[in-house]
Structure 1
Amino acid sequence: MGERTLVLGGARSGKSIAAERLLADVPDVVYVATGGDDSGNAEWADRIALHRSRRPESWGLAETIDLVPLLESPGPPLLIDCLTLWLSRTMDATDVWSDLTRATVVDQHLAALADAWSATPRRVVAVSNDVGSGIVPADPGTRLFRDLMGRLNTTISLVSDQVLWTIAGRTMPLT
């Protein structure tokens, strides 16, 4: 079984940089971008360019939210950036935003991801935002997202070999 590391933290806390450092000495990492290209959004394009500029040229790229097949197959290490965007795009793909009762479908995707994560033969590092430390969102859809994000982080954390917390560019292990 591969080594599984989850890197948690708030927005812009240095999670991605911490994850990249964990794999910096590995030449054949597959960087899994879950955010999509958000065509036409200049701010998003700038973020993507910044991430690309930090990665070694030898690293591969997979732009997908279909993580289970990647986790189930042998291969080089994976850096998944990030589970937060995976959840958001999974909610988009399952049309949860317009019908919150479809959250059970997202739960099924979450369970499949956790099963694949716990059994992966690969070394894998995933980045995820901790979104549950703030105020309770006013609208039901955002509350659902926050709750699902908490469930996702907890589920993946409990089947990880290592969980790291990043804040203000500093990273520490959670035990």
Structure 2
Amino acid sequence: MLPSMTFVLGGAASGKSAFAENAIVNSGLIPVYLATARIWDAEIKDRVQVHRDRRDAAWINFEATHDLAHVLCERDASEAVLIDCATMWLTNHVMDGNDLAQAQAALMQALDDCAAPVVIVSNELGQGIVPADADTRAFREAQGRLNIALAARADTAIQVVAGLPNVLKGSL
């Protein structure tokens, strides 16, 4: 049984999405996928296709680049929702010049209001070098604040490294 909210954190290509997908599938609930990525370039297009290819026809798929609340509020307890990923969602808001505090508050409220268990994937950006430019440093800080808020809200928090889960909070 999935907890109300599970937060899955890891570096790029760490296996966090595959781990989260398996958690949803193994829950026995109807799998719902909220894709947050925009197709910016060929590399992102290829990464999105890899994720699509891993999911079978049982998944209900939504593209939700900004407003996750409209999809989350329509879910029920027979479903399990995967949001993949918070980093792309944040990127969309930054690129569009949106108020990040307002967007984050709306996301947190939507997570609280969702009747289905939610697994949310995010990138850990704070373990590398300090970025050379102010915009990238500001994004790293915003991602860090979002990750802290999501981890605090989650019943279970898991860091995935090299495909291996490390439970930070709660239990698998």
TM-score band, normalised by shorter chain: 0.7 to 0.9
Instruction: Report if the CA contact (8 A) 1:84-1:128 is conserved.
Output: yes
Instruction: Report if the CA contact (8 A) 1:6-1:157 is conserved.
Output: yes
In the alignment, which residue of structure 2 is the partner of 1:147?
141
Residues 38-59 of structure 1, C-alpha deviations (whole Å, 9 max, x = no match): 3xx3322221221111112110
- Closer, same or farther in 2 for the Cα pair 1:162/1:78, shift >3 Å? same
2:167 and 2:114 map into 1 onto residues whose CA distance is: 22
In the alignment, which residue of structure 2 is the partner of 1:80?
83
* Matched length: 163
Match of 2:96 among 70, 93, 97: 93
Aligned to 1:126, the other structure's residue is in SS state: strand
2:84 and 2:75 map into 1 onto residues whose CA distance is: 19
In the alignment, which residue of structure 2 is the partner of 1:36?
38
In the alignment, which residue of structure 2 is the partner of 1:134?
128
- The residue identity in structure 1 corresponding to 2:34 is V
In the alignment, which residue of structure 2 is the partner of 1:114?
108
Superposition RMSD in Å: 1.6
1:72 and 1:162 map into 2 onto residues whose CA distance is: 21
In the alignment, is residue 24 of structure 1 matched against residue 18 of structure 2?
no
1:43 and 1:50 map into 2 onto residues whose CA distance is: 11
In the alignment, is residue 51 of structure 1 matched against residue 51 of structure 2?
yes
Instruction: Report if the CA contact (8 A) 1:27-1:59 is conserved.
Output: no
1:141 and 1:55 map into 2 onto residues whose CA distance is: 34
Q: Give the gaps of 5 or more residues in structure 2.
A: none
1:6 and 1:154 map into 2 onto residues whose CA distance is: 10
- Aligned sequence identity (%): 40
Q: Which TM-score applies when normalising by structure 2?
A: 0.88
In the alignment, which residue of structure 2 is the partner of 1:171?
165
* Cα offset, 1:27, TM superposition: 5.8
1:119 and 1:158 map into 2 onto residues whose CA distance is: 16
Aligned to 1:166, the other structure's residue is in SS state: strand
* Cα offset, 1:70, TM superposition: 2.2
1:162 and 1:80 map into 2 onto residues whose CA distance is: 15
In the alignment, which residue of structure 2 is the partner of 1:101?
none
